[in-house]
Amino acid sequence: MKRIFVLVLAVCLFLLSGCRDSDIVDLPEQSSHIQDILSIRNSDGDRIYYGMTQGDVEAILGQGEAGMMDMYFYENADVAILYRDGMVVLLVLYSDIGWRLTNGIYVGMQVYDQQVFYGKTAEESRQFTRDLINQGEGDIQVTTLDYRFALEGDSDLSVLETVEEYEELRRESLGQDVMRYRFMVSLRVPENTIYLIMFGDQQALFTFR
């Protein structure tokens, strides 16, 4: 129960606010499919991904324990999952006991000035967040590395690389219910070590529904 409380606190803080090179793969060259980007894997070849059914998840992880914010907690994997209509829409990974993002990023990985995800360094990702909240080069402390995506077609994602792209998409979407069609991979990095990984659609990330 203490572990669940700590995780919930970490997720709430996220909403408010040594690297093994051989593990890191250039994910954009592999696939743009949503189930490849929003996905974790283990060394046995098992995968848990966005849109997967709860039954298929629990065939791998075992029975989950329902907890706060309607999330299910899987203590044997240190994974928390929110389901909508019986399918994964938000996943939180909060330790490195064998699970990591498809491209090899894991909790506990050291992040300095190397490219972390989608060809962006940690500082480039932080600067993108500063620009999105109109802080520019200010002193605001950015403790997450956020990567934003838009759905193209039925199953492919395109990464939003610039503030201009993000704002243009937002203007085009005004008045539309698009939170289920915008996605994020977020790495919680208070200093130089990843200690929380989250992914899902914006509705799930920001409303837990």
Helix (H) or strand (E) holding 74: strand 71-74
30 falls in which pLDDT band (50, 70, 90)? low
Sheet with 47-49, edge to edge strand ranges = 47-49, 39-41, 100-101
Residue 199's DSSP bridge partners are 91, 185
- What's phi and psi for 69, nearest 5 deg? 60, 25
Rounded to two decimals, what is the model's pTM? 0.82
Tokens of 188: 């919680």
Tokens of 148: 């934003």
Distance CA(20)–CA(30), nearest Å, equals 19
Q: What is the mean pLDDT of residues 144-163?
A: 90
**What local confidence, expressed as pLDDT, does residue 13 receive?**
44
- Residue 14 above 60 pLDDT? no
Question: Can you give the residue range of the structural domain that contains 118?
Answer: 2-207
Nearest partner of 197 among 205, 187, 207, judged by Cα = 187
Chain centre to alpha carbon of residue 128: 16
**What local confidence, expressed as pLDDT, does residue 198 receive?**
97
Radius of gyration of the chain (CA): 16
Residue-wise pLDDT for 111-152, tens only, equals 876 777 777 888 888 888 888 887 666 667 888 999 999 999
Tokens of 134: 């109109």
Nearest partner of 41 among 85, 106, 86, judged by Cα = 106
176 falls in which pLDDT band (50, 70, 90)? low
**What local confidence, expressed as pLDDT, does residue 35 receive?**
93
Structural domain count of the chain: 1
Pairing outcome for strands 71-74 and 79-84: antiparallel
201 falls in which pLDDT band (50, 70, 90)? very high
18 falls in which pLDDT band (50, 70, 90)? very low
